[in-house]
Each structure stands twice: as C-alpha cells, then as structure tokens.
Amino acid sequence: MRVKSRFLSGILAIGMLTGCSNDEILVNDGSDNPVVNNGEKVYMAVNVKLPTAGGTRSETEGGGQSTGGNEVGKDYENNVSTMLIVLADKDNKIVTYSTVDNLNTDDAGVVDKGDGSLEIKNATVTATASFKKTAIATYYTGDHMDAGTGQLKSEYADVHVFTFCNYTEDLRKAVEKSSGATTDAEATAWTDAVCTVNETKSGVAGVNPWAKNAVLMSNKSLETKAIPSKLDDWNAYAFVTSPFNLSGSNANINNGGAISVERSVARFDFKDGSPAATPANTYYVGKETDATLMMELTKMALVNMSKKFYYLRRVSDDGLPGGAGFGICGNEHSENYVVDVFAQDKYDHKVGDNTAGNKFSNYFNFCLGYGESHADWTINEYARNQWFTSEISEVLGNEDDNDDTWNKPDSKGDYKIWRYVTENTVPVAPNGQIRQNNGITTGVVFKGKFMAIDGKTPALLKGAIEKAAGYNSETELKNGDTPVLYVFDNTIYVGWKGAADEKDPQDVIASASAAAEGTALFRAVFGEGAKKDETTGEVTPVAGSLADIYDKNGGFNDDFCAAATKVGFTMYEASYDEEDGGGYYCYYYYWNRHNNNDDPTVMGPMEFAVVRNNVYKLAVTEIGKLGHPRVSKNDPDPVDPDTPDEKGDLYIRVSVEVLPWVVRVNDIVFN
C-alpha cells in the first residue's frame, strides 16, 4: 500500500516558526524585529524526536513476538501543537518549566520514496521557550554551589529534561503545584501525575489523550542535559534568537541529541483473517474437513480499558511502584514490567473486592462484567451494553493503516484502524497465585453467529438455524418455537426431547436412550446407576438426575440449567440482534497479548497487557469450537473475574506481531 500524505513539519526554525510560550517569546511592535529582552527571561531550545523506526519500541524481542519493521503513524497521530518543557534536578525536583503553544506544523509530510514504502521527513520538532530567570536563580544557591569556584557542583551540573507534547491542563497544574512545593515529597509529586480517561459509548468526557492532531506524548527515556555552571552565563541566552540549546551545541556545552518522545496511548487495528473460501469474517468451527458448522463474527467489543495511566512511563522488576529495578522512563524488556497506576491494588487482589472505592467501574471503562464486586459480578445484557461495541463490517470500512515498511507486498493482509486504548498492565503475582486475570486485563470480545454448511450440517440443526434466522424481531422469536441447542462432549443435540411420533435421533433424550448404559451421555442424562429396560429399551431416570429434574421441575428453567451445566452440558438459546437478525449467538474472549513466552502453562511477565505507543494488529485466524453462550447460566465454563488469561482450553487464535508505531499483530484462534 503506497501512501502519500502530509506529515508533521520538520525542524521549526528558531525565530521563524517558534511557538508562543507562556511568557510571550515575541512582542509585536509593528516591525519584523523582536523586542529586546528585559533581562527577566532566558530562552532554551529543545529538539523533540517523534516516534520513528527504532524509536519507541517495546524491548520484547527475546521472549515476545516483536518482528522487524515499523509503522508510520498518521499525520494526525504525529502532530505537535503544544509542548510542556520541564527541567528537574537529579531527584526530579523541578528547577523550572515553560510551555510552548501554537506550534506551526504545516510544512512537511510523509515521503513516498518510490519503492512503495514510507519514511518520516525530519521527524524532529524544535521548540524555543522562555523561562523566568528568577526561577532558575534559586537553583544556583546553597549546597548546589562550589564555594571555591562559584560554579555548580558536578552533581548539579546536569538536569533532567522532560517534554510533553500536546500536554493537558491537568498535567500543567501538577507541574505548577510541584514547582512551588516546600517538601521533597511535594516537589517530586508531579512525576506521579496521572491522566484520567472517562469514556462511554457516547465518547470521551474531559481529557482525551488521543484527540485528533493532539495525541499526548511524553519522554521515551530519562534525558540528562548539561546547563551553564554559573548563573551569569545565562545572560548569553537572553534573546529568542540565541537560545540555550538543550539538544545541541552551545559555547562550552554540547547537549547533542534530540529528546525522543512516545505516544502515551496504544492503538488496536483489525483485519478479516477468515479463510479465503468462506464468506467475509466466517470461519469453520474446527478443521475444515470435519466441520459441520461455520461461525460468522459479527461484532467486536473492547472491555476493561483502564481509566488511568501515568504521564511518565515507569518500569520495575515486579511491576510494583518502588520495587527493584524501578525507574521513571525506564526501558521495558522481556523480564520486567511496565508499572500500572493500579499495580498495588491488582497485586493485593483489591480490584472489585467489595470495599469502598474498589468497584470495577472505578478502575475501568467498558467493564467486562456487570456488578461492582466479585460477589455480584456476571456477564449479561447489562454488561454487554456497557462494552465499546463495533460492527466488524464497519471496522473493516475504516481508514487503512500505514503498513508499507513491515507488510510488503500486503503479505499479512489489509488492516484497518479500529480505536485507541489506554495502558493497562498487571504486576507479578504473589507466590502460587495468578494476577493476569479476565477481570482486570484489557480484552476484545467477539460475537459469533451460527451458520449452517450446505451438505454437512445435519438437517435438523440446519433447520433450527434457518428458522431462528427467519425471525424479524425479539418478540417474534420469543413467541416462536426455536429449540435449545445442547452441546455435550463436542456433539450438538437439537432440543431436549422430540415429539413422540418423530423419534428424532438428534435430540438429547433420544440420543441418550440410544447410547450404551456406561457412556458419558447416558450417565449425564439419566444418572449413575440408571438401567435400560431390555425389552422396550426405555430408561427410568434416577431420582435427581438431569432427566428427572427436567420432567418434574417444569422443563428448561434455572434449576435445570444449573444441573445441566454441572454435568457438562452447554446450552445455546436463539436470540435476536438488531443489526444481525435472529439466530444462535455465542461469544469469544480474547485477552490482549503483549509478550508471548510461547508456553501455555506459564504466565510470563507482561504476557497480557496494553503498553503505550504500540499498535496491536488483531486478526482472528481460526475458531476451534463453539464460544461461550449468550446466557451465562447456560455455560459450564463461565468467564469470571479470576479466570486466568491463559488457559489450556483456547477457543480462538489471534496472531500477534510487534513493530514500531510500535506495532503488534495478534492472530486469534478460538480452540
């Protein structure tokens, strides 16, 4: 795919395309000349390198699924219009800060090199900002100074430089508050500032870190830069045309190297990974040669998107704040963790533990389950109504990705941009426990619709599927007589008991009656110890058996369903979908894989997570079996908050590759 589009401007020339800082870099006096600085300000310039190839990549090649290549972000994902620049001491206490607004980013674009690939042209923004000299002066006092030389001591000669592109007002206020702090804790509190995202199906309310042309970005790594050794040396930088360069050479100081930033959010893309021989988004259930059913995926829904993330990424060896290996803007690798805002609560199993403030909805947008604690948690229509749900056909009509550098010549298919997602990670678990669980991991739920295969689907099952599809409303379907589909030991049975004159061999009772006494189906239906009449072949159910409960308790009801799932039955009831009509539906749960350790028996560090500045490329490639029933009471293996993200009974396979935007491709297989 060849793309020609305008990209972020290259270097913004100092004095020409410089943005306006909070202290007004230039005053318009009616001429083309800047007003002479009055001595209360100094100017600094910083080069910011945007996320590019080899830039903001998650270091997961050793045990993960990273692959070569990179993806150029869209123009509106790379645009920088404002910048917050913070200088901090070795302990990250603020020395000074400034903002630059209204940056001009109109003059450059994505370059088509003529070979079908893309490259970023001058992916560096140079911003010049004014800083109050009085704020800087306080740094050149007390024990920072060498009394003999009158210069900064060596340990104070360098500062940390942080840049936030398209910053939020909440972040600016946090920086402002820390800059005037009187205690060490308050002075460094800004580094723990958190971005809160509240989103519903109606959209984002308040701060939007992925706003078009204003995607939030921050330091990729901790940047150390040298500053003048004497306060008077700043006098040389009192003019906007001669700023102190935090990313280049000065009179006696070389600060060579731009400050790399990364996007603060991730992105999910999707493609149709179904076989070429089937209709769009339609898969054989199991192996093609053995399949008697197909499954059409109709919807996909985002669940458990974190409400909070740190403005500055941080890592540690165990995923807990302050643990071994902890570092602000530290690098992720295959054996450590990105630290989550809620890491301690996740470690302590407090999310949804029914204590004050620990409701699931306080942690996540689009909660997987309905209910605020483990005790009342369930997946039902209310839960599904709170998910971020998209029609797959609409997602596949979305904008193309920029995949030329890693997907030549479209060998991996045509991905479409779905949506943006916040960072969500899970720390190490206490000994013998698992914390990467369904209740707290970001995932995607796929809705599937049963489809018959001509010549392969048994006639009665095919008839039930077609009958359900013929209903045009929920009322029609409820008033109809579509049978319940029962699945036991990977075999589908149509209805519990056929009419006496039909002798239907596909319903449960007829099939169990025809089975030998020692078989699993016979025992599950009629109970342990049930016997056939040798003459008539009829079976008298054992008291309390499934058949006995059905006959005596009014048929298909809650008591029966509880007994049926207990012995291993899964039931599917027909339902009506406003977009996709009547039918038998089920759900497949995919938990976003970040680092794959290729061992299904061991949950590796950061195996299931969402990490900023990654694009996760999702594609369902196989479906191994029927999914979870729409009605949870019909499911012998219902999803609950403590269900591990990695289980042996996979339903679906998702491919995963990771490349810089950063990009990961996840092929999904439901086994």
**Looking at the domain assignment, is residue 288 inside a domain?**
yes
- In 257-407, at which residue ranges do the beta strands (DSSP E only) sit? 259-263, 266-271, 282-284, 293-303, 305-306, 308-310, 314-316, 327-328, 337-338, 364-365, 388-391
562 located within any domain: yes
Segments of the chain with pLDDT less than 70: 1-39, 52-71, 104-122, 403-412, 499-505, 648-671
Q: Are residues 553 and 526 in the same domain?
A: yes
Residues 71 and 663: beta-carbon distance below 8 Å = yes
Residue 217, both tokens: 């970005």
Same domain, 257 and 276: no
What's the longest Cα–Cα distance across the chain? 113
| pLDDT for residue 660 | 52
Cα 16 to Cα 32: distance, rounded to the nearest angstrom: 10
What phi and psi, each to the nearest 5 degrees, are found at residue 73? -65, 160
Strand-pair category, 293-303 with 443-452: antiparallel
Half-sphere exposure of 420 (CA within 13 A, CB side): 23
- What pLDDT shows up at residue 323? 87
Beta strands in 396-482 (DSSP E): 416-421, 443-452
Q: Clarify whether residues 56 and 202 are in a common domain.
A: yes
* Amino acid type, 173: K
**What are the tokens at 364?**
């996540």
Domain boundary among 230, 263, 296: 263
Flag whether 554 is in a domain: yes
Residues 534 and 587 occupy one common structural domain: no
Are β-strands 443-452 and 581-591 bridged in parallel, bridged antiparallel, or unpaired?
antiparallel
> Do residues 564 and 444 both lie within one domain?
no
Q: Which amino acid is at 247?
A: S
Q: Is residue 169 part of a domain?
A: yes
Pair 634, 44: CB distance under 8 Å: no
Between CA 653 and CA 596 the distance in angstroms is 13
For residue range 27-84, what is the model confidence (pLDDT) as tens digits? 333 334 434 344 689 999 998 888 754 433 344 333 334 445 666 788 888 888 899 9
pLDDT at 408: 59
Query: What is residue 62's predicted lDDT score, i.e. its pLDDT?
Result: 33
Q: Is the omega angle on the peptide bond into residue 228 within 30 degrees of 0, that is, cis?
A: no
- Are 154 and 49 found together in one domain? yes
Query: Is residue 597 one of the residues assigned to a domain?
Result: yes
Question: What distances in angstroms separate CA 523 from CA 488, 545, 547, 598, 668, one per listed residue?
Answer: 12, 9, 10, 38, 36
Is there a single domain that holds both residue 415 and residue 511? no
Give how far Cα 138 sits from Cα of 148, 182, 640, Å: 19, 13, 55
Q: How far apart (Å, rounded) are the C-alpha atoms in residues 470 and 614?
A: 43
Per-residue pLDDT, 292: 95
Tell whether the torsion through CA atoms of 325, 329, 335 and 338 is positive or negative.
Answer: positive
Phi, psi of 145 (to 5 degrees): -100, 145
Q: Tell me, yes or no, whether 423 and 438 share the same domain.
A: yes
Is the separation of the CB atoms in 133 and 42 below 8 Å? yes
Among the residues of 435-515, which ranges form H helices?
459-469, 474-479, 508-514
Last residue of a domain, one of 539, 569, 599: 569
In the block, residue with structure tokens 């078009």: 212
Question: Which tokens in the block code for residue 152?
Answer: 């900064």
d(CA 429, CA 206): 34
- CA-to-CA distance for 214 and 412, rounded, in angstroms? 30
Residue 639, amino acid: V
Same-domain check for residues 107 and 254: yes
What was the pLDDT predicted at 11? 29
pTM over 0.85: yes
Identify whether residues 291 and 418 lie together within a single domain. yes
**Cβ 267 vs Cβ 661: under 8 Å:** yes
Residue 214 sits in the same domain as residue 288: no
Q: How far apart are CA 54 and CA 628, in angstroms?
A: 41
Residue after which a domain boundary falls, among 526, 547, 569 = 569
- Residue whose token pair is 């056929």: 498
Q: Is residue 470 part of a domain?
A: no
CATH code, 609: 2.60.40
- Between CA 427 and CA 433, with CA 431 as vertex, the angle to 5 degrees is 70
Q: Do residues 25 and 129 make contact, with C-beta atoms less than 8 angstroms apart?
A: yes
How many domains in the chain?
Answer: 3
How many CB atoms within 10 Å of residue 453?
A: 15
Domain containing residue 555: 494-569
Query: Do residues 191 and 328 make contact, with C-beta atoms less than 8 angstroms apart?
Result: yes
Among 642, 643, 592, smallest CA distance to 349 is for: 642
Same-domain check for residues 251 and 275:
no
